[in-house]
Structures are given as structure tokens and as C-alpha cells.
Structure 1
Amino acid sequence: MARIAVIGAGMGAMAAAARLAVAGHRVAVYEQGRTHGGGVGRLAREGFVFDTGPGLLHLPAVYRDLFVKTGKESLEQCLELVQVDPASRHVFPDGTDVSLPNASRAGVVAALDAAVGPGAGERWSDLVNRAREVWDATRRPLLEEPLRAETAGALGGDPYPAVRRRGLFRRAAPATLAAVAERELKDPRLVALLESHALAYGLDPRRAPASATVLPYMEQTFGSWYVRGGLRGLADALYERCLARRVEFFFGAEVVGLVEKDGRAAGVRLADGGVAEADMVVAAVAPGRLAAIAPGVEGRPSAAPVAPAGRFGVFLALSGARPEGTAHRTVVHAAGRGAELDAVFGERGGSGHGPTVTVLRPDDPTTRPGDDHEAVTLTATVAPHGRVDWSAPGVSAGFAERVIRAAEAAVPDLRKRLMWHEVRTPADTRAATGAEGGGVPAPALAGAEGAFLHPGNVTGLPGLYLAGGFAHPGGGLAHAGMSGALVAGLIVDGADWRGSQ
């Protein structure tokens, strides 16, 4: 039985902790904040409840497996998981309005044909079929195995298949997601639909590799899920599972350095001067914190991942009942996509653009004080704090007004019903999670010579492992859970571990 210190109490950290504890190790988690969950936060005020992090779960199998492997109660016995249908509604600048059913390929084809025009659904379906080839080629090396030198090199190539010309020859595969959208979808509404999946994860479609088509594939194939009471409930359930497995948590415990002995990680040093000895250390923190805690140590093999964008949230308390038949999620697409991408991903950044806004309106009585009220969450991908000073006077308020204005396309009576609203910016995310610029890491992607990979789970310092959204296989709830499984497998099964069996 080994003593294992885990730095951070985010989803990847807790996923690793629960698995390591059930394997018989003594696990202690050191979190500088006051609570668990990392970016999976909650805002509660006057009977209204909002998720301040992710609002939907994709690939729930990751957490089903985690709960099966760490206790008697299944995931569904610990919380209520609801499949969202329709999966999403999309409102485009020209007034086109389409709702896409959850996990139904034929339903999506029919909906796009009806809203966009004959043949639109087939073009979208053909692209998703090609994205399945990306999934089949990368699922194991990208999601189910630790990142090693040989796999990192192979993942530098883009597995998105080329499209045949008329005749016998093939075109070269497009280099970016934007190129795929322009060439294979053509219609600007379908282009916006594809690119919005990348934007939601903080990816610039002009730079993201063609393999990013796997993001809509995963959502359309495995569905979109909501946790009754909000996604924070998933973090709470995982925390309770860790406690049941006798994982110790220390909150307000800032780790400032590593203890090293005989060339290995042998514990952590705390800001209060204390030392916690351990046989191994798992760090689930942002790159800047890792560099401060363990100077010169990085995940190996590793790449230099693209700096993540931030997330801007506006939380609305509305009077009046939620109308029957309202979609859980509506994406209101920006009219000036180029200006939006420049503002979010350009070197100078900006907040004066019209954003693409995701509107979340869960049919969940536990999120509101009564059936005559509604809790609505608006989110937009934005430049991180630093490229935009989100704490400067008037900046967040001005952008919140732009977000609310866009959301009126999904909630026409929003202004009349609005009681109050609160805002969360990347500056707030930075304060809550310690992530540089309040950036939210994206999932790892193959292609682009490895620019969209993350540092590996094994580091150059023996005994030190990396987990969480800033490590392989990247950000997002499912990927964070996978990182915990990978680290636990490396520690429990040793260096010869080759992934899930």
C-alpha cells in the first residue's frame, strides 16, 4: 500500500483518487480552494441554482465505469441522469431555426433537410461518417492509453479521411476544421453548425485540425446528458465516492513545492510550512502552477498545447414559467463569425463583438424557487483574462449586455421577465481554479503535428504523474475522468500498462 498525494480536487484529480483508493492505496488530496470540483462550480441565490462550469455531459460511460469500479452504487444510483432531447436548437442570423434530436442520425438528417434545404442533412451525415473514422483511429491511443513518444508522433498526423473527387483520385485531406466546413458543407449555416462545436470547447476552427470533426460525432453518437439539480451534482457524487473510499481531503491547503528523495517525488510542501510525505504524487493543476510547484518538470512525451480560451457566463433569474416544449440548449449563432474569432483568438483579443451564445434552460424544478420562475444560463467563448482585462470597469457589464441581447433570439420575452443577473468572467475562473487567464482546456486532438495534444501523464520526474484537463487527454468532463483512469492504471499496474483491457 502506497501513500499518494494528489494536488487539486478537480474532476480528474478525484477520478484518480477514487480509483487509487479502491486499489488499496492511502490517498490524500490537497486543494488550495475551499471546495472540490475545480471548474464544475455552482451559483445559488434566492432559490435559483446555476452551473458555473459545464452544463451538459457527453460520454457518460466514462463516469459509469468509474462508479462501477469504485463502489457498489452505480452512477444512476447516486444521481439522476437525464438524456436531453432535442440535443440542441440552433438559431442562425438569417432566422433559420432548427432543433436537432438527441442521438438520432436519421432525425438530424431530416431536421437539417427541412430547415436548411434538401441535401443539407446528407452532407452533414457524410461528414459525421468520416468523423467516425477519426474516432475509430484515435479512440484508443488518444483517449484510452497514456501518451507515449511513439503514440505522440503518430497522433501528429490528421486521421480525417480525404474526400474523393469525381474520378479515381483523392484530394488531400483539409488541414483545418474551417477548410472541412467550407469545402464539404458549403452552406454558411452548416459551416456555423460545425464550427460551433469547436468554439464551444475553446477551439479556433481556423487552426483546429480536421480531426475536430470528432466533437460533433461524439455528441451525436453518444448523446447529451444532464444531471438533475445541475452538473455540480456529478462533482458532489464523485466527492462522496472518494470519502466512502477513505480518501482524505485538505481544503485551503496550497501546495508550493515537491519533496524529492533519491531522484523521485516523495511528497508535497505546503504554504503553511507543513510537509506531507508520500510515495507518489499526482498533480492535477494548470501549467503555471505545475511550473511553480515543480520547476523544470513537464509531462513526457509532451507538446506545447494551444493556449486555451476562456468562458463568459451570465446567469439569469427570470419571472414566469418555463414554456412547455422549450429546448434545454439553444445555440444563437453570431452574425459576424470572422470578427468573433478574431476577438476570441487574435493576439490582441476583444470584447466588442457579437458573440455566439449558448442558452441553457433546464426543465428542472430544483434549479428555481418555484414553477413560476426559471433559471437560465448564457455562456460564450471569449479571450482569456490578460488578452482582455475582464476586471476593468465596464468591460464585463458591456459584454454581458451583448450576450443578453443575443439570447433574446432564444428567449424573446427575456427583458420583461428578467429579475436579476450575475456574471462570471475568465478573471473569476482564474481566481477560482488558478488556471492562467481563466482558460478552459480543450480536449486533445490528433493532427497539426501534435499542437493540440496535452502533456503526458508520466513526467520526467519519477513518481510524479499528471491528471486533469491540462494533461492528456485534455479538457472536458469526460476527458478529465479518462485522465484519472489513465494515471490510476499507470500507478496500479505499472509502467507496462497498455490501456483499458
Structure 2
Amino acid sequence: MARIAVIGAGMGALAAAARLAVAGHRVAVYERTETYGGAVRRFERDGFAFDTGPGLLPLPAVYRDLFVKTGKEPLEECVDLVQVDPSARHLFADGSGAALPNASRAGVVSALDEALGAGAGRRWGDFLVRARETWDRTRRPLLEEPLWPDWQVLAEREPYPAVPHKRLLRTRRAGTLAEVGAWELRDPRLIALLESHALAYGLDPRAVPANAAVLPYMEHAFGTWYVRGGLRELARAVYERCLARRVEFHFGAEVAAILEKDGRAAGLELADGTAVEADLVVSGVAPGVLDRLVRGTAVRAEGEVPPLRGAPSRLTVLLALRGGRPEGTAHRTVVHAEDRDAELDALFGPAPGMAARPTVTVLRPGDPALVPDAAHETAVLVATVPAGGGPAGETARRADDLITVAERALPELRKRLLWHEVVTPADVEEATGAEGGAVPAPALAAAGGRMLHASNGTALSGLFTVGGWSHPGGGLPHAGMSGALVAGLIVEGPDFQGSQ
């Protein structure tokens, strides 16, 4: 039995802790804040409650597997997990809209044909077929296996089977997600639908590789899910599973350094000077934080995938509303920017900032557990913004812009508004420790490896990394899988080939 110290109590770290404890190790988690969950937090006021991090769960099989492997109670006995239907309602710049059924390719094709005109559904359906092939090619190496030592193979090959495109007497295949949209979907509304999946993860569709097609595919294939009471309930359930497996938690325990002995990780030094001995250390913090904790030893060896540094953040506006949620209201509505090119230029340009009217996701869960009574409703508005908040912290002043955009989805919003709260990138940084409140995206293949995340093992023997800033990257499913990978590497050793 090894003594294992885990730095941070984010979702990936919790998943690793539970799995390692079940394997017989003595696990202790050290979290600098006073609670667990990382970005999966809750805000409460006047009988209203809100998720301030992720509001929906894709690919719930990752957490089902975690609960099966760590105890007798399956996930559904610990949380009330429900499919969201429709998966999303999309409002486009031209005033048209479409509500897409959950986990139904045929239903989505039919809905798009009806909403956008004959042929739109077929083009999107054909795209999903190619996206499925991409998923089949990348699922194991990018989600279920440790990062390959010969990761260059993943970096060089574009797994998306793009349709040949003739232009100026030359035949080309899409290399970016934007080219997939322009050449294969052609309709600006379908392009907006496609690119919104990348934008939600802080990715520029003009720069990300074509295999980012797996992002919309995951949603369409495996459905979109909600946990009654909010996604914070999922964090609670994972935390309680850790407690049941006798994981020790130390909150308000900031780690100042990772101790080394004989060339390997040997424990932690806390900010108050306390030394914690350990045989192994699992770090669930951002790369910049980890660099400061490791003294005198490079975390990553030359030739390995370097950690991704820097990513956009999110601006979240929490709305307390008079009046109940109307019957038939979509849980999620994506209000697309009126000028998508201007939005992308502003967000990913040389001086990153917010567009005047950005793409805004409106979440209206209609969950009785989140409101004081049936005569009130909650809504959460989310937009991708620069890390740090842009020039002079402009995001704190842009909440009103998000409310204006959301009025397209929520008529008479301002008349119903009791109050609102803003969650800025600075708040995200406080919760997660990531500089500027940056939010990591899932790993993607091709693009020379620049979209891969660093491996879960490190150059310092006995030190492992978990969570969104290491393989396989950001997002709730990916964080959960990183915990499985780290546990596998520790329990089975370097020959571990991945989750089954």
C-alpha cells in the first residue's frame, strides 16, 4: 500500500483519488480552497441556486464507470441523471432557429430540414457520419489510453475523412473545422452550429484541426445530460464516494512545494511549513502552478508533449427571474452571434476582447431544487471571453451585453429580472488556480501536436498529473478519464494500456 498525496480537489483529482483508494492505497487530498469540485461550484442567494461551472454533462459513461469501479452503488443511485430533450435550441443570426432532438441522428436531420430547408439535414447527417469515423479513430488514443510515447503519430495524421474540395483546379481536403463548415456544410447556419461546439471550449474554428468534429459528434451520439439539483450534485457524489473509500481531505491546505528525495517525488510542503511524506504525488493543478511547486527538476522531459498554456475563459451571468419557466422551454438555447467573423476576430485577435454581441448559451434548467418556489425561474448565461477578462477587466462590465443577447431567447427578460450575479475569469481563477481563469479544451489530434495535452506521467519519478491540463484535456468526461488513466498507471505500472 502506497501513501499518495493528491494536490487539488478538482473532478479529475477526485476520480483518481477514489480509484486509487479502492486499489488499496492510502490517499490524502490537499486543496487550497475550502471545498471540492474545482470549477464545478454552486452559488446560492435568496432561495435560488446556480451552477457556476459546467451546466450539462456529455458522455456520462465516464462517471458511470467510475462509480461501478469504486463501489456497489451505481451513478444513478447517487444522483438523478436525466437526458435533456431537445439537446439544444439554436437561434441563428438571420432570425431562424432549430431545436435539435437529443441523441437522435434521424431526428436532428429531420429537424434541420424542417427549420433550415430541404437538404440542410442531409448535409449535417453526412457530416456526422464522417465525425463518427473520426471518433472511432481517435477515441482510444485520445480518451482511453495513456498518451503514446510516439505521440508524433497522433500529431501528424488528420483522422477526419474530409470530402475532397475542388478549388482553382486543385483538390484539397479540409484541414480546419472552419474549412469543414465552408466546404462541406456551406449553409452559414450549419456553419454556425458546427463552430459553436469549438467556441464553447474556447477554440478558434479557423485554427483547430478538422477532427474537432468529434465535439459535436459526442453530443449527438451520447446525448446531453443534466443532474437534478445541478452539476454540483455530481461533484458531491464523487466527493462522497471518496469519503466512503476513506480518502482523507485537507481543505484550506495550500501546497507550497513538492518534496523530492533521491530523484523522485517524496511528499509535499504546505504553505504553513508542514511536511507531508508520500510515496507518490498526483497533481491536479494547472501547469504554471505545478512549475512553481517543483524545485530544481524539469516537470517535462525534452521531446515530450509540453503542457498547453493559455486558453480563453468564460463569463457567466446568473439570473434570478420572476415567473415560472414556461412549459416547453428548452433547457439550453445557443444564441449565435450576429457577426461571427467579428466575434472570432475579437476573441482570438492580437488584442483579445469580447465582441459587442457574442455567442451566448442560455441555460434554463427548470429544476425545482434551484428556485424558492414555482413562481420563479433561474437562467444562466455563458460566453467565451479572453483569459483575465480582456482589457481593463472589461468582462465584468459586459454582463449587460449578455443579457441583451439573451433577450432573443427569453422575451421580456429585463422585466422579469429580480437580480443578477456575474462570475468573471478572476472568479474562475480563484476556484481552479488557472492563470486568468483559463479553461482547458479536450485534446485533439493532428495540427503538429499543438492540441495535445501533456502526458499523465512526468520527468520526475513518482509525480503524475491529472485533470483538464493533462491528457486527455478539459471537459468533465475528459477530467474523469484522466483520473482513470492516472490510477491505471500507478496500479498497473508503465505497461498500463488504457481503460476497457
Asked if Structure 1 and Structure 2 have the same fold, meaning a TM-score greater than 0.5 normalized by the shorter chain, the answer is yes
Per-residue Cα deviation, 1:406-452 (whole angstroms, up to 9, x for no partner): 00011012111000000011111112221111011000011101110
Equivalence for 2:330:
327
> SS where residue 389 of structure 1 aligns?
helix
Q: Any conservation in 2 of the 1:92–1:334 contact (CA below 8 Å)? A: yes
Going from structure 1 to structure 2, the CA distance change for 1:103 and 1:114 (only over 3 Å counts) comes to same
For residues 170 and 16 of structure 1, the distance between their equivalents in structure 2, rounded to whole angstroms, comes to: 49
For residues 128 and 299 of structure 1, the distance between their equivalents in structure 2, rounded to whole angstroms, comes to: 37
For residues 285 and 173 of structure 2, the distance between their equivalents in structure 1, rounded to whole angstroms, comes to: 35
Q: Any conservation in 1 of the 2:316–2:380 contact (CA below 8 Å)? A: yes
CA-CA distance at 1:339 after TM superposition = 1.6
Q: Which moved more, 1:371-380 or 1:430-439?
A: 430-439
1:314 and 2:317 are equivalent in the alignment: yes
1:160 and 2:163 are equivalent in the alignment: no
Q: Any conservation in 2 of the 1:319–1:417 contact (CA below 8 Å)? A: yes
Q: Any conservation in 2 of the 1:352–1:399 contact (CA below 8 Å)? A: no
Per-residue Cα deviation, 1:347-378 (whole angstroms, up to 9, x for no partner): 21123521100000012100100000001000
> SS where residue 242 of structure 2 aligns?
helix
CA-CA distance at 1:164 after TM superposition = 4.1
For residues 355 and 97 of structure 2, the distance between their equivalents in structure 1, rounded to whole angstroms, comes to: 25
1:493 and 2:496 are equivalent in the alignment: no
CA-CA distance at 1:155 after TM superposition = 3.8
For residues 405 and 433 of structure 1, the distance between their equivalents in structure 2, rounded to whole angstroms, comes to: 29
1:10 and 2:10 are equivalent in the alignment: yes
> SS where residue 259 of structure 1 aligns?
strand
Q: Which moved more, 1:341-350 or 1:485-494?
A: 341-350
For residues 188 and 89 of structure 2, the distance between their equivalents in structure 1, rounded to whole angstroms, comes to: 17
In structure 2, give the amino acid aligned to 1:146: P
Q: Which moved more, 1:452-461 or 1:337-346?
A: 337-346
1:265-280 alignment runs, 5 A limit = 265-280=265-280
Q: Any conservation in 2 of the 1:313–1:380 contact (CA below 8 Å)? A: yes
Q: Any conservation in 2 of the 1:384–1:437 contact (CA below 8 Å)? A: yes
Task: Tell me the TM-score normalized by structure 2.
Answer: 0.97
Equivalence for 1:240:
240
Going from structure 1 to structure 2, the CA distance change for 1:129 and 1:235 (only over 3 Å counts) comes to same
In structure 1, give the amino acid aligned to 2:284: A
> SS where residue 150 of structure 2 aligns?
helix
Per-residue Cα deviation, 1:245-273 (whole angstroms, up to 9, x for no partner): 00000011111111111111010111000
Per-residue Cα deviation, 1:279-298 (whole angstroms, up to 9, x for no partner): 00000101110110015533
Equivalence for 1:374:
377
Equivalence for 1:26:
26
1:204-223 alignment runs, 5 A limit = 204-223=204-223
Equivalence for 1:297:
298
Task: Tell me the TM-score normalized by structure 1.
Answer: 0.96
Q: Any conservation in 1 of the 2:15–2:483 contact (CA below 8 Å)? A: yes
Equivalence for 1:478:
477
For residues 170 and 232 of structure 1, the distance between their equivalents in structure 2, rounded to whole angstroms, comes to: 51
> SS where residue 321 of structure 1 aligns?
coil
Count of aligned pairs between the two proteins: 495
Going from structure 1 to structure 2, the CA distance change for 1:65 and 1:170 (only over 3 Å counts) comes to farther
CA-CA distance at 1:174 after TM superposition = 1.3
In structure 2, give the amino acid aligned to 1:263: G
Equivalence for 1:389:
392
> SS where residue 421 of structure 2 aligns?
strand
Out of 341, 353, 357, the residue aligned to residue 356 of structure 2 is: 353
Q: Any conservation in 2 of the 1:60–1:478 contact (CA below 8 Å)? A: yes
For residues 190 and 136 of structure 1, the distance between their equivalents in structure 2, rounded to whole angstroms, comes to: 23
Equivalence for 1:437:
436
In structure 2, give the amino acid aligned to 1:328: H
Equivalence for 1:337:
340
Per-residue Cα deviation, 1:189-212 (whole angstroms, up to 9, x for no partner): 000000000001111101111000
For residues 365 and 45 of structure 1, the distance between their equivalents in structure 2, rounded to whole angstroms, comes to: 15
In structure 2, give the amino acid aligned to 1:488: A
Cα-Cα RMSD: 1.5
For residues 165 and 173 of structure 2, the distance between their equivalents in structure 1, rounded to whole angstroms, comes to: 12
Runs of 4+ in structure 1 off by over 4 angstroms are none
> SS where residue 385 of structure 1 aligns?
helix
For residues 345 and 280 of structure 1, the distance between their equivalents in structure 2, rounded to whole angstroms, comes to: 39
Q: Any conservation in 1 of the 2:165–2:183 contact (CA below 8 Å)? A: no
Per-residue Cα deviation, 1:84-117 (whole angstroms, up to 9, x for no partner): 0000000011110110000000110011111111
For residues 97 and 490 of structure 1, the distance between their equivalents in structure 2, rounded to whole angstroms, comes to: 47
Q: Any conservation in 1 of the 2:322–2:418 contact (CA below 8 Å)? A: yes
Per-residue Cα deviation, 1:107-129 (whole angstroms, up to 9, x for no partner): 10011111111100011111111
For residues 67 and 411 of structure 2, the distance between their equivalents in structure 1, rounded to whole angstroms, comes to: 41
Equivalence for 1:412:
411
Equivalence for 2:281:
281
Structure 2: which 5+ runs fail to align? none
Per-residue Cα deviation, 1:118-170 (whole angstroms, up to 9, x for no partner): 1000111111110111111111111111113213433442111131469xx99
For residues 428 and 449 of structure 2, the distance between their equivalents in structure 1, rounded to whole angstroms, comes to: 27
Equivalence for 1:72:
72
For residues 478 and 448 of structure 1, the distance between their equivalents in structure 2, rounded to whole angstroms, comes to: 23
> SS where residue 313 of structure 1 aligns?
strand
Q: Which moved more, 1:169-178 or 1:288-297?
A: 169-178
Q: Any conservation in 1 of the 2:287–2:309 contact (CA below 8 Å)? A: no
Structure 1: which 5+ runs fail to align? none
For residues 389 and 22 of structure 1, the distance between their equivalents in structure 2, rounded to whole angstroms, comes to: 47
For residues 242 and 265 of structure 1, the distance between their equivalents in structure 2, rounded to whole angstroms, comes to: 23
For residues 386 and 297 of structure 1, the distance between their equivalents in structure 2, rounded to whole angstroms, comes to: 30
CA-CA distance at 1:306 after TM superposition = 6.0
Going from structure 1 to structure 2, the CA distance change for 1:331 and 1:209 (only over 3 Å counts) comes to same
Identity %: 64
CA-CA distance at 1:343 after TM superposition = 2.0
For residues 455 and 20 of structure 1, the distance between their equivalents in structure 2, rounded to whole angstroms, comes to: 21
Q: Which moved more, 1:38-47 or 1:155-164?
A: 155-164
